[in-house]
Amino acid sequence: MSRRLLLRSAALAAGLACALACAFAGGGSDLRCDHLAPGTRECALGDRRYDVHVPASYTGATPVPLLLDLHGYGMSKAVQAGWFGSGFRAKSDRTGFVYVTPQGVQNAWHAQGRCCSFQRNPPDDVAFLEGVVAAVRAAGNIDASRIYVAGFSNGGSMAFALACQRSELFAGAASVSFALSGGTTVEEIVAACTPSRPIPVIHFHGTSDAISPYDDGALDSIGARQSLAAWATIQGCDASATPEPVSGRTVCETRRNCRGGVAVSLCTVERGPHHLYRSVADPDIPDQIWAFWQSFPR
């Protein structure tokens, strides 16, 4: 089976699963976007779309965290939330945060550098995602100090762009299978990333990634280890870290004592492929990312 056919089949399955979940929650068309309540619904911001999943534990009585989860290039919000995606939706149900999957224009995000909106007039995705956060906050009781962004591949590049450009809004960022980008040299990339406040950043990458290679990156991104060093420079972290095995083939290197007491981390998955989420278990990637973020409360 070709990769394109595999992705198309996965997208169809994920879409059906999402549709069934929405129907079980009470029907997507009956759930309001201006008032958060348990269930899943598709919402609109202008001509753009995003899905909101509110866990059954949500009552509105106390503020809860919010996570934006960004799909990869050529994928969709339904795929990211479904079986073929990140697993963060199930984590939302277990942990109690509101889970949002926005949709990129033409299934892509215009992040820093060359990845991956190749349109002549690319959309302002930073403004769109800021607007999504504002709309969800207006609809429910969201803890403004616990808003996070994660992404896969091109979505990871977009998550890092938000960490560089909108760290005042996000309490943590994570990228899976894409390193920091935005220049032709490491020095240019470091200079282009100017967080307004310290932000904890974690990055998962497989050594057998054939699409965004671990050592070299893709397009104008850098290698995974270079990305860790760049983030450490950007945020003034320790010069080195002790590798810590966390599960199976996964080893995390964390640079600590960054400005503001945050940290930046690279988790390397030996022989891990590009689509990494289901290659790591016990604990899985969403659990590890969430635990990392919770170590650095605002």
Q: What is the CATH number of the domain that holds 69?
A: 3.40.50.1820
User: Domain of 248?
Assistant: 3-294
pLDDT in tens, 198-255: 999 999 999 999 999 999 988 888 999 999 999 999 999 999 888 999 988 999 999 9
Q: Is 10 helix (H, G, I), strand (E, B) or coil?
A: helix
Residue 23 has pLDDT above 80, yes or no: no
User: Mean pLDDT across the chain, nearest whole number?
Assistant: 88
Residue 65 has pLDDT above 70, yes or no: yes
Count CB neighbours of 290 within 10 A. Answer: 23
Residue 67 has pLDDT above 90, yes or no: yes
- 20 — pLDDT class (breaks 50, 70, 90): very low
Q: Sign (positive/negative) of CA torsion 51, 57, 62, 66?
A: negative
Distance, in Å, from the CA atom of 2 to the CA atom of 36, rounded to the nearest integer, reads 40
Q: How many structural domains comprise the chain?
A: 1
